[in-house]
Amino acid sequence: MTLRPVRRALLSVSDKTGLVDMARALQHFNIELISTGHTRKTLTEAGLQVKDIAEVTGFPEMLGGRVKTLHPKIHGGILAVRDNAEHMKTLEAQGIGPIDMVVCNLYPFQATVSRQGSTHEEIVENIDIGGPSMIRAAAKNYHDVAVVSDPGQYHGVVAELRANDGSLSLETREQLAGEAFSLTAGYDSAISAYFVSRLEKEATTGHNPFINRWLGSSGFYHRGAQLPSNLSLYMERRMQLRYGENPHQQAAFYIQPGITRPCVATAESLHGKELSFNNLLDLDSALNLARDFEEPAAVVIKHNNPCGAAVGLTLEEAFRRAYEGDPLSAYGGVIAFNREVDEATATQLTEPKRFVECVIAPEFSDEAFDLLTTRPTWKKSVRLLRTGELTNDPARAHALDFRCIDGGFLVESRDSSADDFKDLKVVTKRKPTEAELADLRFAWLVCKHVKSNAIVLVKDRMVVGVGAGQMSRVDSTHMAVRKAGDRSKGSALASDAFFPFRDNIDEAAKAGVTAIVQPGGSMRDQDSIDACDEHGIAMVLTGIRHFRH
């Protein structure tokens, strides 16, 4: 174990948690302390002896504190290799003292981005320059210098200093260096993500006519521009989860820094035990579907697939109809609403023999919250999450979706194609009625959120049957029809991809389906059209596939 004594330490921190205790511990070993601005003020007020950075560099802090540590007498002291005779001779000739430890954390850039009301100028001012430079310099020279970049490291570092009479091992210095590089890499990624998001927003709103061209040429993704040749991801851990999909798997929930739009990542947990890995997956699916509807809507998700969805004149009506879509599957499911949950809806939710894992909604009325958190069979089990108003953020439509495979990621633009039926093509002799058209559009929106092969049956804008995740599309049709039972008569059917054979049409006709929406594009499209004409079924093609693996 290669030990290096710490004789001189530079402290410059934004987060001052544990700072005074750390500095006192260092001074116990007669380590000389150098510090800057507010950090030095905090330490001197605590009665510690600290040398001001200006005494070391011979220059005062400049430009309102923007320039203070960017100086050869600082970086030379950090970067000099102690076993390199030429390096040490240079330090001596220039009157530079070695710095053996850098205690530094960074300006709160991510926190400033996340804080509501922060201006662009405030956010830019919280981009740290000197801090990352010192941290990277110390981490690069970890053979000789320890870099302490997080208050959470203080306890372990002090314990080792005590165990080794003021020295640290090479293994510890290398581990600290790795953590420091992770910090600066994430910090830079967060800054990059903020600027790309800001520029995308300007392009979306049309405020800057040159942005689209720049985003495309720079390699950043936007509106069909090429995906970047290099992709840096930075996520902040929001919470450690009890386990993953199964109890033997570890799991955590990471979020994008600076994310503010209403979503699962920003939702406030109001009640209930901690969320699980599977809860979060289902909550995301439920909310993404619920927000697709303009009228009061309720969605029931089970195992990442909708088993119920409906709209109504009131939220209570929407929930009742959504739950009745498949009550058996709805037991233990996750429910999303696109309106504030009121007392009437909460009363429906808490009827006897109903068990729901999670409810996510823009808001809960006081009466609804009281009902959901005091009823005996509910208060200990249900989790309640509040998102705030489900506003439309244009940047959401241009976001990227990621799927992890062994050794890498698959990245694609989000499936946010317009589903307004403007380009709908009626291909059968019989045109759909207005009521059928409304059901077809509803079924099409739901189908987009169902795992392929996906078949959705809808009647009066209420899901009555779903077939999901089958290897054969006709098997999905059979499943949806079985779930629907007699409700399939007069229903509309949506298929996320084309029909390879007419057997799906024949099965739908037997069940009483009267209208079908599908993308089209099969070599046998005409066979399906002919089958619909034989059965008197109206069929429309969208030209858009919504396959979801």
Which residue do the tokens 């091992």 mark? Answer: 169
Structure token pair of residue 397: 């439509």
503-511 helix and 473-484 helix, angle to the nearest 10 degrees: 0
The residues with which 104 forms a beta bridge, in sequence order, are 12
Pairing of strands 297-302, 333-337: antiparallel
Give yes or no for a cis peptide into 278 (omega within 30° of 0): no
Q: What's the CA gap between 454 and 52, in Å, rounded?
A: 67
- Please give the C-alpha separations between residue 376 and each of 14, 294, 348, 371, 379, in angstroms, as whole numbers: 47, 34, 15, 10, 6
3-state secondary structure of 234: coil
Q: What's the CA gap between 423 and 66, in Å, rounded?
A: 56
**Cα angle for residues 318, 497, 308 (degrees, 5° grid):** 20
Selected catalytic residue, list 140, 143, 271, 478: 140
303 is catalytic: yes
Select from 254, 203, 216 the least CA-distant residue to 233. Answer: 254
Q: Which residues contact 497 (CB under 8 A, 6 or more apart)?
A: 452, 453, 454, 473, 518, 519, 545, 546, 547
Structure token pair of residue 242: 């009890």
Structure token pair of residue 147: 């870099």
Phi/psi at 483 (nearest 5 deg)?
A: -65, -40
Which residue do the tokens 């208060």 mark? Answer: 379
What is the helix (H) or strand (E) element at residue 403, kind and residue range?
strand 400-405
The residues with which 341 forms a beta bridge, in sequence order, are 364
Q: Taking every pair of C-alpha atoms in the chain, what is the biggest distance, in angstroms?
A: 96
Q: What's the CA gap between 298 and 446, in Å, rounded?
A: 12
The residues with which 384 forms a beta bridge, in sequence order, are 271, 359
3-state secondary structure of 125: helix
Q: What's the CA gap between 426 and 419, in Å, rounded?
A: 15
Say if residues 135 and 149 touch (Cβ distance below 8 Å).
yes
Selected catalytic residue, list 16, 87, 271, 303: 303
Structure token pair of residue 364: 């809960």
422 is catalytic: no
Select from 546, 544, 525 the least CA-distant residue to 428. Answer: 525
The residues with which 199 forms a beta bridge, in sequence order, are none
Say if residues 383 and 279 touch (Cβ distance below 8 Å).
yes
Question: What residues are labeled active site?
Answer: 140, 303
